[in-house]
């Protein structure tokens, strides 16, 4: 077997790379905090959220139709400009 020499700037080296934020202790703490805050918000405001669903469903349908129906003609332009 032969041994290979590696240069200091080898591409397999992870020393110079920074970890993504979510893989750091602060990122993990932020995820835990947001999960606990979301749980408390759900528990305390469940009646308000579920009571608003009948009002939010038609609004979401209208927004979705508006978004998808305007794809075909290029938006809200006046149509007087040349192509």
pTM higher than 0.85? no
Look at residue 7 and tell me if it is in a domain: no
Say if residues 20 and 27 touch (Cβ distance below 8 Å): yes
At residue 9, the pLDDT reads: 56
At residue 19, the pLDDT reads: 85
Maximal C-alpha separation, the chain: 75
At residue 36, the pLDDT reads: 98
Look at residue 9 and tell me if it is in a domain: no
Distance from C-alpha of 25 to C-alpha of 15, rounded to nearest angstrom = 18
Structural domain of residue 65, as residue ranges?
A: 21-69
Look at residue 31 and tell me if it is in a domain: yes
At residue 55, the pLDDT reads: 92
Total count of domains within the chain: 1
Look at residue 15 and tell me if it is in a domain: no
At residue 62, the pLDDT reads: 93
| Contact partners, residue 48, CB within 8 Å, separation at least 6 | none
Look at residue 59 and tell me if it is in a domain: yes
Look at residue 74 and tell me if it is in a domain: no
Look at residue 46 and tell me if it is in a domain: yes
| Contact partners, residue 59, CB within 8 Å, separation at least 6 | none
pLDDT in tens, the chain (83 residues): 666 666 555 555 556 788 898 899 999 999 999 999 999 999 999 999 899 989 999 999 999 998 888 766 655 666 565 55
Look at residue 5 and tell me if it is in a domain: no
């Amino acid at each position: 077997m032969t041994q290979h020499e590696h240069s200091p700037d080898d591409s397999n080296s992870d020393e110079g790379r920074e970890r993504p934020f979510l893989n750091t202790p602060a990122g993990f703490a932020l995820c835990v905090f947001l999960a606990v805050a979301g749980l408390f918000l759900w528990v305390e405001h469940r009646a308000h959220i579920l009571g608003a669903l009948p009002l939010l469903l038609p609004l979401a349908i209208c927004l979705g139709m508006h978004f998808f129906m305007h794809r075909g003609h290029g938006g809200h332009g006046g149509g007087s400009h040349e192509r």
